[in-house]
Amino acid sequence: MPRHIIVSRHPASIKWLRQRLAQVDLELAHLDTALLQPGDCVYGNLTVHLVVEVNQRGARYFHLQINLPPELRGVELDAGQLASLNPKLTEIRAESVPD
């Protein structure tokens, strides 16, 4: 059975995701892709190389997309700030191109 996994170290992001997902099986600060099984759904803000690994393992990745203005870069957002930025989930598929 596919698992729903939140990967984030940001409390406001975790709260936002938990409020919108019907099911959360795991919550991780960092992802070890070796834990993934085909069909798993991963939610968060992963770097591209990890998205590639997620997809290679047959899992789906949903990116917490936030259009962050420059003045908020590097700032830990609270729940209100995050909500005001109208975040959304976008499924992303990525693959590496061989040399």
Quick one: pLDDT at residue 24? 97
- Map the chain to HEC letters: CCCEEEECCCHHHHHHHHHHCCCCCEEECCCCHHHCCCCCEEEECCCHHHHHHHHHCCCEEEEEECCCCHHHCCCCCCHHHHHHCCCEEEEECCCCCCC
Number of domains in the chain: 1
Task: Establish if 97 belongs to a structural domain.
Answer: no
Task: Establish if 99 belongs to a structural domain.
Answer: no
Average pLDDT per block of 10 residues along the chain, 99 residues long: 95 95 96 97 96 98 93 88 93 93
Q: Would you say the pTM of this structure is higher than 0.95?
A: no
Quick one: pLDDT at residue 99? 85
Quick one: pLDDT at residue 2? 93
Task: Establish if 98 belongs to a structural domain.
Answer: no
Domain span including residue 76: 4-92
